[in-house]
């Protein structure tokens, strides 16, 4: 870890090997952008965490506790990244979770990734990954800690000029980037992959969809093949840390200009 | 953990929160039956671990080191369970693994589950799980630490009379039990699900297939719907700890007698 770690409110940086996140990836996480000593979009992140807890059967800690610990971690931090990992804790027999789980809360502080401003201004290049995303509605949308698919996809390239890899499901439909959600504009319509079968339902993705609809634009969640991007007038990526980043190149496929919708969203995002 | 734990050869029971198994389930594991101070089927387990390491890009520690640490953990243990978890270790940026990973080895000792002999003798009841297994050839066959599907499936029942849940893939084909592999006999043919799209390629599953073929029986790996079991003359489950256990009831569907193939395999297994 780059920065300090708090486990259940105490400055510690190790966990029991019996923790179910270590054993099975039996956990959820949220990654917050810190601006001026505050985690951004707190309520939206917490809503996703709550949904994940309900679907996995992990008791959500008191939101006041999480907020207090988050604020304490962000103390004095003008800009950075706060990660919250919530595990099912220890216990149970094998895969069977304990009847009365005692979740582990892990907050950790990280610096902003380098080159963020430049990427937002100039845009980034992407590639298409070979590693597919398995389809499973039971886990779709959640930011859980079973992330081997993302690890394998991210291992596919080392070229630092490629910022992100786009992933398809096992049926060849676009889902998301390894660490981002994906949008593209076709004339007056903005499209983004449906996430009912796999993928992470990003907090900034939701923010972007709400914002675009408030502006009267049509936003569609679709099952599309990657080739659909060839018809796009503009393409952009979102996540909690990068915000909104234009895609200017799909390696070996085509280039795009930075689009007007991307710029308009960026202006509101950073204001 | 019920028993002692060794991390990289030292008696410790906590790991850094930066360990990638805690963060992403970026790890593999093996579960050995201990008989008379020795882990059983060592070479077969190690072969699967090696395959997993190759596919995930985790360097396999020197087998002599693993063997030495395994023997030390089994010292004085007449019967029990040894678990080895091999993680990618710490490091990397987000999902991107470090270029030069330093894996973490975790050995832990556990008692044999209660009631094992009785289950082998009398057989067990199973149910069909609703939680599906996602299809992903990139991970199929491996005993990796992304196990949320198993956790969710195991949460579906608490009835102690149900020993195991059978799981299908998202296309409705039988794959395996939550913690076991599945076999059934139809006349002279023994069938087991194909594991090229999901599932764990069990070490005892392999042992059973080799043994049956050595006896001149036909063994087929198939994609079958659960209803195929209704035609079976006998059904059994395998894993490294339970060995071979007959299934005598599929809840709300049908009963089976303990079959002759099951008994014959059990006799060789325990000899």
Q: State ipTM.
A: 0.97
Active site residues of A: 31, 143, 176
Residues 6+ apart with CB under 8 A from B253: B128, B229, B230
For an interface test with B, the pick among A90, A95, A157 (most B C-beta atoms closer than 10 Å) comes out as A95
pLDDT band, very low/low/confident/very high, at B271 (cuts 50, 70, 90): confident
Neighbours of B206 (CB within 10 A): 16
Query: Cβ of B91 under 8 Å from any chain A Cβ?
Result: no
pLDDT score recorded for residue B245? 98
The percent of residues above 70 in pLDDT, for chain B, comes to 99
Provide mean pLDDT across the span A220-247.
98
Indicate which residue of B30, B69, B164, B176 is catalytic.
B176
With CA atoms as reference, report the closest residue to B245 among B253, B231, B229, B256: B256
Regarding whether B72 and B149 lie in a shared domain, the answer is no
- Cβ contacts of A136 on chain B, cutoff 8 Å: 132-134, 149, 170
* In B116-225, alpha helices (H): 116-122, 148-154, 203-214
Regarding whether A88 and A131 lie in a shared domain, the answer is no
Asked whether the beta carbons of residue A148 and residue B134 sit closer than 8 angstroms, the reply is no
Tokens standing for residue A85 = 């990992």
A146-156, pLDDT tens digit by residue? 999 999 999 99
Provide mean pLDDT across the span A219-241.
98
- Cβ contacts of A17 on chain B, cutoff 8 Å: 1, 5, 7, 13-15, 85, 106, 108
Query: Cβ of A5 under 8 Å from any chain B Cβ?
Result: yes
pLDDT score recorded for residue B46? 98
Domain boundary among the residues A82, A110, A138 is at: A110
pLDDT score recorded for residue B125? 98
pLDDT score recorded for residue A270? 87
pLDDT score recorded for residue B80? 97
Asked whether the beta carbons of residue A25 and residue B153 sit closer than 8 angstroms, the reply is no
pLDDT band, very low/low/confident/very high, at B1 (cuts 50, 70, 90): low
Tokens standing for residue B44 = 């077969």
State the helix-helix crossing angle for B203-214 and B42-56, rounded to 10 degrees: 120
Regarding whether A195 and A178 lie in a shared domain, the answer is yes
Query: Residues A235, A192: contact at Cβ < 8 Å?
Result: no
Provide mean pLDDT across the span A37-56.
98
Number of domains in chain A: 2
Domain boundary among the residues A67, A93, A110 is at: A110
Neighbours of A267 (CB within 10 A): 10
Q: B25: distance to nearest CA of chain A, Å?
A: 5
Tell whether the model's pLDDT for residue A1 goes beyond 80: no
Regarding whether B131 and B244 lie in a shared domain, the answer is yes
pLDDT band, very low/low/confident/very high, at A2 (cuts 50, 70, 90): low
- Between strands B254-255 and B243-250, the pairing is antiparallel
Domain boundary among the residues A110, A135, A170 is at: A110
Q: A222: distance to nearest CA of chain B, Å?
A: 20
Regarding whether A212 and A187 lie in a shared domain, the answer is yes
Q: How many CB pairs under 8 A join A and B?
A: 175
pLDDT band, very low/low/confident/very high, at A59 (cuts 50, 70, 90): very high
pLDDT score recorded for residue A271? 78
d(CA A221, CA B25) in angstroms, rounded, equals 29
Tell whether the model's pLDDT for residue A187 goes beyond 80: yes
Regarding whether B177 and B69 lie in a shared domain, the answer is no
Q: Where in the sequence is the domain holding A18, given as residue range(s)?
A: 5-110
Regarding whether B243 and B133 lie in a shared domain, the answer is yes
B42-93, pLDDT tens digit by residue? 999 999 999 999 999 999 999 999 999 999 999 999 999 999 999 999 988 8
- Cβ contacts of B18 on chain A, cutoff 8 Å: 1, 13
Asked whether the beta carbons of residue B17 and residue A146 sit closer than 8 angstroms, the reply is no
Asked whether the beta carbons of residue A151 and residue B15 sit closer than 8 angstroms, the reply is no
The CATH number of residue A242's host domain is: 3.20.10.10
Regarding whether B188 and B77 lie in a shared domain, the answer is no
The CATH number of residue B103's host domain is: 3.30.470.10
Reply yes or no on whether B31 is catalytic. yes
pLDDT score recorded for residue B135? 98
pLDDT score recorded for residue B2? 64
B164-208, pLDDT tens digit by residue? 999 999 999 999 999 999 999 999 999 999 999 999 999 999 999
Regarding whether B122 and B94 lie in a shared domain, the answer is no
pLDDT score recorded for residue B3? 87
Query: Residues B4, A11: contact at Cβ < 8 Å?
Result: no
d(CA A92, CA A56) in angstroms, rounded, equals 15
Provide mean pLDDT across the span B26-50.
98
pLDDT score recorded for residue A92? 84
């Amino acid at each position: 870890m780059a920065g300090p770690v708090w486990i259940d409110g105490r400055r510690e940086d190790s966990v029991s090997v019996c923790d179910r996140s270590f054993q099975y990836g039996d956990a959820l996480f949220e990654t917050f952008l810190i601006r001026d000593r505050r985690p951004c979009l707190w309520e939206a992140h917490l809503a996703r965490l709550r949904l994940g807890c309900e679907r996995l059967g992990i008791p959500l800690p008191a939101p006041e506790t999480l907020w207090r610990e988050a604020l304490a971690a962000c103390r004095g931090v003008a800009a950075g990244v706060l990660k919250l990992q919530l595990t099912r804790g220890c216990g149970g027999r094998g895969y069977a979770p304990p009847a009365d789980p005692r979740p582990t809360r892990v907050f950790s502080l990280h610096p902003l990734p380098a080159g963020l401003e430049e990427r937002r201004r100039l845009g980034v290049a992407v590639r298409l990954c070979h590693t597919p995303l398995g389809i499973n509605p039971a886990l779709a949308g959640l930011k859980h800690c079973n992330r081997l698919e993302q690890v394998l996809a991210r291992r596919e390239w080392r070229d630092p000029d490629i910022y992100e890899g786009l992933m398809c499901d096992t049926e060849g439909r676009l889902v998301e980037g390894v660490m981002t959600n994906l949008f593209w504009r076709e004339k007056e319509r903005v499209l983004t992959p449906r996430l009912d079968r796999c993928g992470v339902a990003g907090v900034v993705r939701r923010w972007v969809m709400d914002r675009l609809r408030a502006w009267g634009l049509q936003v569609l969640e679709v099952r599309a093949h990657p080739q659909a991007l060839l018809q796009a007038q503009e393409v952009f990526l979102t996540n909690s840390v990068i915000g909104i980043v234009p895609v200017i190149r799909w390696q070996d496929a085509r280039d795009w200009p930075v689009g007007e919708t991307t710029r308009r969203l960026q202006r509101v995002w950073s204001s």
